[in-house]
Amino acid sequence: MQPIYLDYAATTPVDPRVQKAMRPFLGKNEGLFGNPNSLHQYGERAYEAMEQARANLAGIFGTNSENITFTGSATEANNLFIRGTLKAYFNLSNHKGIPHAVVSSIEHASVLSTVRDLEKDG
């Protein structure tokens, strides 16, 4: 009997269309596997592909490509979002008090850790 996987909060299968689209970036033969922040040819090709993906997403969401940020994980995305939002609120609102973040105790550890860290900083 085949087991049934129910932990989709941890990881999910990759759609076959995504597998096909990502294949050039996962092997050396296609030359797109490089670090997009490196100046060698692999990095430059990966950078061009990443910028094209950023432009495609910007078109889908009706925004500028500069507004699209890629992160390596949900933890990184949560940290960036929470810190960026609170910083922007504090800097743009002429708020004299301390900004507050209200979170549930059942939030992901990356959310709780980020908020606790910010709490230590006041």
- For residue range 61-85, list pLDDT tens digits in order: 999 999 999 998 889 999 999 998 8
Residue 56 structure tokens = 């495609």
Structural domain spans, the chain: 16-67, 74-120
pLDDT digit string (tens) for 29-66? Answer: 776 788 888 998 888 988 999 999 999 999 999 999 99
CA distance 65 to 57: 8
What CA–CA distance (Å, rounded) separates 14 from 39?
30
% of residues, the chain, pLDDT over 70: 93
Cα torsion 83, 81, 11, 32: sign: negative
Are 88 and 99 in contact, with CB atoms under 8 Å apart?
no
The Cα 65–Cα 55 span in angstroms is: 5
94 secondary structure, DSSP code: T
State residue 96's pLDDT score: 67
Residue 80: how many other CB atoms lie within 10 Å = 13
Give the CA count within 13 Å in the CB-facing half-sphere of 39.
0
Q: Is the pLDDT of residue 95 over 70?
A: no
Record the pTM.
0.69
DSSP assignment letter at 58 = H
pLDDT by residue (tens digit) across 1-34?
A: 999 888 887 788 889 999 998 888 888 777 678 8
